[in-house]
Structure formats: C-alpha cells, structure tokens
A and B are shown apart, each in its own frame.
Chain A
C-alpha cells in the first residue's frame, strides 16, 4: 500500500512531500512524544501524531518513516512545511481524531506490529 492509496481512501490533505506519495507504507506508529517515536518508530511506518513542530520532520527523516499524518485537522507550522519540502518528507492532514484514524488505517491493512 502506498501513501497515495491512503490519501485517496481516507481523504487526507497533502501538505508537503507531494512528489513522494508513491512511497510504500509498511506499518503504522502513533505517538506525540518525539522521544518515543525516535525509540520505537520503524522505517516505512506512517506516523500518526498531533505534534506540528518542525522537529517532527527531522524525526521522520532520521527514522526513515513513510510519512507523517497530523490528526484533528491540525495544520503544520510554516517552518515544518519548509523543512518537510526541503527534506522531501510527506506531511498529511486528517480531519479525524487519532483513535478513529488509526482504526481506519488498521482496517485498510496497516499494522503496528511487525513479524
């Protein structure tokens, strides 16, 4: 499943990294503490969070995440967008709250576990 598929299925808004939507998504991780995502995020994960700070982009890059989805319609900060474009990190926005979004992602076949 690619980011593009998820954007279409869930009506996500693409805010940055639009040229990288063919990226394959391997699983998902949800969390708002960046220290936790640094510790537990895995390459290829789609990261569901409410944090809009520019550091999120660095964490996504560092961990090789597939992309970031902001929940509750939260919009990224201007610096975040700038950084995301520069580093080609995908930033998406969903109007849904975390619980609902993660549930739908799971329903589409994404898992938080890797075997």
Chain B
C-alpha cells in the first residue's frame, strides 16, 4: 500500500506549539489533509502520544509515538517507536538527562491532554532545553529500544545536525534524515530522506509529507522502507 505520512508533528505539549494543537485536533487535521500516518513528536517528551492514539481510534489514521530529542550539541533527532513500552523507556532516559524547569511566560505552556482535548496537567520540565546526551548516545538509545532515529530538518540553520555539527558523522547509524525544502540535502547518498511538516500549528499539518510503499502503517514498516527492505521503500 502507498501511504502518505507526516512523521513530525508537535502538540500543545511543546512550549513553542499552538494551544490549538490538542491531540484530537492533530488527528482531525491529519485526516483532513489526507494523511494515512502521523507521528507525534514533541520536544523531549511523549506525554501526549497516548491521547493522540486514542483520539485516532477508528479514524482511519495511524499514530506513531515519537519524540524530538535534543542532543547536547543541540541537534534535534526524531525518535519513532514501535510500541508504548519502548516509548516510555526512551522517555525515561530523556527525562533522566534533561535539567531545568519550564518558564511558561517565556517559553510557552506545556499541556498534557486527554483524547478529548481536555488539559490533564502541565508538564513542568524544561522541554525546550538540551539533554546531556551526545548525538551518538541519542541514536544509540533509540536503536537499543528498537526505534528509528531520523535527524530532524537537516536543511535548517538552527538545531539541525548540519548546522550544529557541520556534517553527518561517519558511523552514526541514522535511519534517515528529514528535510523541509525541495533541495537535496548535504548528506551521504545512502541515507533515506523524508519530508515532514514539523507542524506547530494545525494548518501546517501535512504541508509536507512523505509517501511510503509499505504493507502496514507502522513504525516497523517505515523502518523497512527507510532501509529499502523486502520491497518497502520511500516513494517521494
């Protein structure tokens, strides 16, 4: 099957995202945009993933749980996970390595919501901060938990692997890179390239997406497509 996937969407848990990005709103917009798969990737946290998965039940939209992890070099890496257990383990590692408290007046509110879009609690951690994990440690952590590690928006001048570290380090073992423009990125040719929205506002959802040829709308299948295994692949 050919799937349209937007694998980098924030919710109102990210301090820099719109309050309107409630888990059900994200699902609603994802459907409206004709997406088949979305990944919820808030900064250093996955606490709105479960609500998004619930909101998407029966909606014909698959939700992959993820996180946009900030390495100590301030490189953003998307971690996409196959199940809740792996996601929770990743969350623990990230929280153990993340210092500081959020200042909502400065950085924005960090709302944890349920599947109906009601505020359950405020996350008080400094989610916009950098973890103490090196880029290599982030990738290793994601892989140890069976997840996919994708360098986020490598063609942006801020918080990207290329802006922070100049080039993709040899042997890093990424599963792919994400870009925000149509220009080919300055990365090794064997790395899969995906496009996603990095949406912080509802109308941005699906403004960029990647088409995959896969059997099912799951993180495992997307991983196979990124590595061109068993006929799965990235279409465009």
Residue of chain A at shortest CB distance from B75 = A53
User: Is B169 interfacial (CB 8 A cutoff)?
Assistant: yes
Is B135 on the interface with A (CB-CB < 8 A)?
yes
C-alpha spacing A64/B165, complex, angstroms: 17
When each residue 75-108 of chain A gets 1 if its CB lies under 8 Å from chain B and 0 otherwise, what string results?
0010100000000000000000000000000000
| Residue B163 interfacial (CB < 8 Å) | yes
Find out whether the CB atom of B166 lies under 8 angstroms from the CB atom of A34: yes
Which B residues from 149 to 169 make CB contacts under 8 A with A? 157, 162-167, 169
Cβ of B119 to closest chain A Cβ, rounded Å: 37
Q: B167 touches which one: A32, A33, A58, A77 (CB < 8 A)?
A: A58
Alpha-carbon distance A93/B163, docked complex (angstroms)? 23
Residues B177-191 near A (CB distance < 8 A) = none
Please state if B169 and A37 are interface contacts (CB–CB under 8 Å): no
Task: Tell yes or no: B134 within 8 A of A by CB.
Answer: yes
Is the beta-carbon distance between B164 and A34 smaller than 8 angstroms? Answer: yes
B83 interface residue (CB < 8 Å to A):
no
| Interface class of chain A by DSSP | helix
Contact (Cβ within 8 A) A53 B162: no
Check if B166 sits within 8 Å of A59, measured CB to CB: yes
A59: chain B residues at CB < 8 Å are: 166
Could you say which residues of chain A place their CB within 8 Å of the CB of B167? 34, 55, 58
**Does B164 lie within 8 Å of A33, measured CB to CB?**
yes
A-chain residues with CB within 8 Å of residue B135 when the two chains form the complex: 53
Cβ-neighbour of B169 out of A32, A33, A55 (below 8 A): A55
In the complex, whether A38 has a CB less than 8 A from a CB of chain B is yes
Counting CB contacts under 8 A, is B73 at the interface? yes
CA distance A54 to B136 in the complex (A): 10
Give which listed residue, B134, B164, B169, contacts A35 with CB less than 8 A: B164
Nearest B residue to A54 via CB reads: B169
Chain B residues contacting A51 (CB-CB under 8 Å) are 73, 164-165
Tell me if A53 and B163 are in contact (CB < 8 A): no
Contacting pair B165 A55 (CB below 8 A): yes
- Whole-angstrom distance between the alpha carbons of A105 and B166 in the complex? 25
A55/B166 in contact, CB under 8 A: yes
Interface-centre pick from A54, A59, A79 (highest chain B CB count, 10 A): A54
Least CB separation from B166: chain A residue: A34
Chain A residues whose CB sits within 8 angstroms of the CB of B169 once the complex forms: 53-55
A/B interface sample: 20 pairs, CB < 8 A: A32-B164, A33-B163, A33-B164, A34-B164, A34-B165, A35-B157, A35-B162, A35-B163, A35-B165, A51-B73, A51-B164, A51-B165, A53-B73, A53-B134, A53-B135, A53-B165, A53-B169, A55-B166, A58-B166, A59-B166
CB-based closest 3 A-B pairs: A34-B166, A55-B165, A35-B163
